[in-house]
A and B are shown apart, each in its own frame.
Chain A
Amino acid sequence: MDVELFNITGLSLRVTGLALLISSLLGIPAGVLLGLKNFPGRRLVIALIYTGMGFPPVVIGLLVYLLLSRSGPLGSLHLSFIPPLFTPGAMVIAQIIIAFPLVAGFTMAAVMAVDPQLRQQVRALGATQGQAAWAVLSEARVGVVVSVVAGFGSIISEVGAVMLVGGNIEGKTRVMTTAIVLETRKGNFELAIALGLLLLGMSFLANLAMMRLQGRSLPQ
């Protein structure tokens, strides 16, 4: 049982970790761009991001399922870099789509909250556009950390989408949340509770880390 618990937790962390990494690498620059740059279609993109922030994960699961299924538009291409359904890769894709709007949206809000005068003054000190954007991002760092933690929270605890696209296959795509569902149904409460406590512990640690980071920037 311990090995099973270990494997399930390990897979959860790997899938969520990779999805969070990719969402952050895409979402933080996207948030900065949306927060600082005016371009045609910006309002539409922001509206889409906001919609994405509140999108039901299970619908995203359905969408990814349809896209990746063998007869779907992506699955039918049989390209090596497109993961098939019922693999950890498919779960990572679903989680990226869930977390990306949260990371981008919260980063955008944090960047927009930085006084625009700061960017101008940094430019006056000789910053390139990129250096000025970096200065704004570093001023908004607390908000950016919050955006990543929000992204983490949304996908580590997510069950519907990973169930759909992963299939909850033992030893292959079973993660903590889907295992809890299954074990509860089976009446195997011991494992379900253990997984639940682990999940809670992870969430708590993530929030603790966030608060420590905030504490460094917030006045005492």
Chain B
Amino acid sequence: MKPPVYRLTGVEKRYGQRCVLRVEQLEVEAGRILALVGPSGAGKSTLLRLLNFLERPDAGQIEFEGQPIPNNGEVDLNLLRKVTTVFQQPRLLDRSVVDNVHYGLRLRGIKDAKAEVEAVLDRLGLKPLVHQRARTLSGGEAQRVALARALVLQPEVLLLDEPTANLDPYHVGLIEEVITEANRQQGTTMVLVTHNIFQARRLADRVAFLLNGSIVEVAEKEDFFTWPQDPRTQAFIQGDMVY
């Protein structure tokens, strides 16, 4: 078995006095999809920001590919570029769709990637919009562009924060297909934040349940949904959780 991509130990994140996240132990396994489920405000997005090194823990330790990441100072650029995030509310650059999808490659000094860019635009049904300005797109279109600009980078780790939040059922299906493809064909490790347990069930290999900044339970998908160990997980799965 491959070593985990991430290993988190005693990780804490505070905003001012408030502790928004406390993860005693979490491993993200290589080439698999881990779903983070839980109600709003549970700390799911904060955890993603820590995994993308956009924010740093106040305590504890994050290891990436066996390498401990210091809790302050700049993260090595090569390491940063192995990971990317598709955000819940994508902010695109005020340029054309194709320029937005090219952008991450240009940051890496790659200028000639027309074929890759076209392939990803085509796969996500964005071909008719290539020359459209990003600011004129609908929420759902912007979400697909955000996924396209991340996928074209072929990251080792793809973090997805509610990637289908703004989409109609047809495009939810499309995006789920594309995500699964990237995972199965390229072996991309993924962490998927969703509050939709059905989506977690469709896509994930493992599922972690977050509540009030802590991980209540993490298990293989079948175990998680069939034999939840914690009564709170059970309540969440059954839709009985009141929060």
Contacts and interface: CB of A to CB of B under 8 A. Distances in A.
B93 A139 contact: yes
Contact of A219 (B81, B107, B136): B136
B103 interface: yes
B77 interface: yes
B228 to A, nearest CB: 32
A135 B83 CA distance: 19
B54 A125 contact: no
Interface in B58-98: 74, 77, 80-81, 83-85, 87, 89-91, 93-94
A119 to B, nearest CB: 9
Interface string A114-158: 010110111111111101000100110000000000000000000
A117 B89 contact: yes
A125 B149 contact: yes
A76 interface: no
Given A115-B91, A117-B89, A128 B52 contact: no
A139 B135 CA distance: 12
Given A124-B84, A126-B81, A118 B104 contact: no
A125 B107 contact: yes
B77 A217 contact: no
Nearest to B106: A131
A135 B107 CA distance: 10
Nearest to B159: A124
A125 B87 contact: no
A144 to B, nearest CB: 13
Interface string A87-127: 00000000000000000000000000001011011111111
B48 to A, nearest CB: 9
> Which of B52, B77, B91 is packed against the most chain A CB atoms within 10 Å?
B91
Size band of the A side of the interface?
A: 10 to 19
B165 to A, nearest CB: 15
A22 B88 CA distance: 42
A126 B94 contact: no
A115 B49 CA distance: 17
Interface string B21-57: 0000000000000000000000000000100101000
Contact of B135 (A121, A123, A129, A219): A219
B77 A126 contact: yes
A60 B153 CA distance: 52
Nearest to A125: B104
Given A115-B91, A123-B54, A128 B84 contact: no
Contacts of A128: 77, 107
B94 A124 contact: no
Nearest to A131: B107
Contact of A121 (B80, B91, B136): B91
Contacts of B54: 120, 123-124
B84 A126 contact: yes
Given A131-B107, A139-B94, A217-B94, A124 B89 contact: no
B153 A126 contact: yes
B108 interface: yes
A123 B77 CA distance: 10
Interface in A177-220: 217, 219
Contacts of B204: none
Contacts of B135: 219
Contacts of B108: 126
B85 A124 contact: yes
A213 B82 CA distance: 37
Contact of A125 (B94, B103, B136): B103
Given A118-B91, A219-B135, 6 more contacts: A121-B85, A124-B52, A124-B84, A125-B107, A125-B150, A129-B74
30 contacts: A115-B91, A117-B89, A117-B91, A118-B93, A120-B49, A121-B85, A121-B87, A121-B90, A121-B91, A122-B103, A123-B80, A124-B52, A124-B54, A124-B83, A124-B84, A124-B87, A125-B103, A125-B104, A125-B107, A126-B80, A126-B81, A126-B107, A126-B153, A131-B107, A135-B93, A138-B93, A139-B93, A139-B94, A219-B133, A219-B135
Among all A-B residue pairs, the 4 with the closest Cβ atoms: A126-B81, A125-B104, A118-B91, A124-B85
Interface of B: 49, 52, 54, 74, 77, 80-81, 83-85, 87, 89-91, 93-94, 103-104, 107-108, 133, 135-136, 149-150, 153
